[in-house]
Amino acid sequence: MKPMSNFEKKFGKYAIRNISLVLILFYACGYLISWINPVMLNYLTLNPYAILFKGQVWRLVTWLIVPPESFDFFTLIMLYFYYSIGTSLERAWGTYRYNVYLLLGMVFTAVGAFAMMGFVYLFQGEVLVAVGAENYFTLISGMFSTYYVNMSIFLAFAATFPDMQVLLFFFIPIKVKFLGIIYGLILVYNFIAGYGNPYLTAANRFVIAASLLNFGVFFFTSRSRIHMSPKQMKRRQEFKREVKNSSKITRHKCAVCGRTEETNPELEFRFCSKCDGNYEYCQEHLFTHVHVKRNS
């Protein structure tokens, strides 16, 4: 097990447990807003122009609740799937490291939005003249969503549990590593092919590169120790529980049966005045044990 870093020792207590459920609750709020007032979502997206020139700084956070896709039955299945793999990663890596992984994906996405804005002003200024800067960035702001951040969770899961099998289309068993490879190839194709429109293609490339940068950092810094089978993960959790239980210090322990106040809190313990040495016994063996005498 990798030892805790100084940052983890200092900030690990602030890590959010079960953060995958928190993200799903964010999406639930986003879907609720889309049903009540869809126009309101336009004021929550990650729009760098609105943040810098209109002071709408809340967008730096609110884009996290904007759903990456419309709601239907398959959306429920996908949300459950990402909750399952996210929870598995949190158990395998620890809450702190999983939090850092997601936070990096979100930060890189936000930085990518501003980097894209600078790129457009420097090299594609003609589109800003044609349609207006505000209209253009409003149009593409929806691209900077948590969609690819979620995809980075799947890639990390495939890298950590490469031999785990899932049911593709609910009946085709396939190892996760093959799905990860297929998805990686699709990402490369989308990055190269783009949208056909060069102005949208540039934005899409920034989105893909920025939101998946956390996986690149994770893979190249942890590739030698990330592979883990489900059985290994189970053994790791059992080992943690055993270490935690064995680290408990007991004050009372029966010298005959070995029971303690931790295992049997209903028992009373007393030292025997007739034994040579500090021997303690539970109430059942206090008067029935053989006294310990040292050889003279």
pLDDT tens-digit map of 218-271: 877 765 555 555 555 555 555 556 555 554 556 788 888 888 888 888 888 888
Q: What one-letter code names the amino acid at 252?
A: H
- Distance of alpha carbon 195 from alpha carbon 206, whole angstroms: 13
What does pLDDT average to over the chain? 83
Q: What is the pLDDT, as a whole number, of residue 25?
A: 92
Name the band, by pLDDT with cuts 50, 70 and 90, for residue 107.
very high
- For position 125, what pLDDT does the model report? 86
pLDDT at 243: 53
| 43-100 confidence digits (pLDDT tens) | 999 999 999 999 999 999 999 998 877 777 778 888 888 899 999 898 888 888 899 9
What are the tens digits of pLDDT across the range 160-172? 888 888 777 667 8
DSSP letters spanning the chain: -PPPPHHHHHHGGGPPTTHHHHHHHHHHHHHHHHHH-GGGGGGTS--HHHHHHS--TTHHHHGGGS-SS--SHHHHHHHHHHHHHHHHHHHHH-HHHHHHHHHHHHHHHHHHHHHHHHHHHHH-HHHHHHH-HHHHHHHHGGGSSSHHHHHHHHHHHHHHSTT-EEEETTTEEEEHHHHHHHHHHHHHHHHHHTTSSHHHHHHHHHHHHHHTHHHHHHHHHHTTS----HHHHHHHHHHHHHHHHHTPPPS-B-TTT--BTTT-TT--EEE-TTSSS--EEETTTTTTSPPP----
pLDDT at 248: 53
> Where in the chain are the domains?
6-242, 249-296
Using a cut of 0.75, tell me whether the model's pTM lies above it: no
